[in-house]
Amino acid sequence: MKIIMLGAPGAGKGTQAKMLSEKYDIPHISTGDIFRANIKNNTELGKKAKSYMDAGQLVPDELVVDLVVDRIKAKDCFKGFILDGFPRTIPQAEALDYALNNQNEKIDYAINVDVPDEDIIERMSGRRACVGCGATYHLVYNPTKKEGICDVCGEKLILRDDDKPETVKKRLQVYHEQTQPLIDHYEKKGALLTVDGTQDIKVVFEDITKVLDK
């Protein structure tokens, strides 16, 4: 089963990907993990990616696709995989389709975890991170015992720049510009599965697995 996760930052697609990975025993793959592994192992692709990152440049599409295709050829992807954070653009999606097609394979499902922007802004602006150990909390959904203080190490909590409403709005704008074409792309292929991400995590998971288990 070859799956792509789509969803805005904070929609909960990473959580669903982890749960699906455990249920179906297929790897949950993020582009960040692929980059880190290749750079750590000093592979040729890793060296190329690092040269762009060190220069403060975006890694080109062709190289990102090469890294992803190289990863999904690994033995642990024999039964399938879940891609999280890739593809982000239509050229990346088309390159992935082409690479899979060459192996007589295709994406089975593009799962779109759909959450309205206002809900995402509320979710993310309520997040708090510990400056000491990095533990994360939420003012509403996962509050600390003592306000503003980490339960784990007792250090103070902060609202990260990434979670500030103005930053989240900008990230959402970029997401919609890039991802709406992807939703259309996979819908045309008959591979799109959209679920209501505003529901409880377990309910969202059940909605996804009902379709996957058919």
Positions marked active-site: 13, 88, 127, 160, 171
Rounded Cα–Cα distance for residues 114 and 11 (Å) = 7
Which DSSP string do the residues of the chain spell out, in sequence order? Answer: -EEEEE--TTSSHHHHHHHHHHHHT--EEEHHHHHHHHHHTT-HHHHHHHHHHHTT-PPPHHHHHHHHHHHHTSGGGTT-EEEES---SHHHHHHHHHHHHTTT----EEEEEE--HHHHHHHHHTEEEETTT--EEETTTB--SSTTB-TTT-PBEE--GGGSHHHHHHHHHHHHHHHHHHHHHHHHTT-EEEEETTS-HHHHHHHHHHHHT-
Number of CB atoms found within 10 A of residue 176's CB? 13
Tokens of 149: 């203080």
Report in angstroms the alpha-carbon separations of 68 from 86, 92, 208: 8, 10, 24
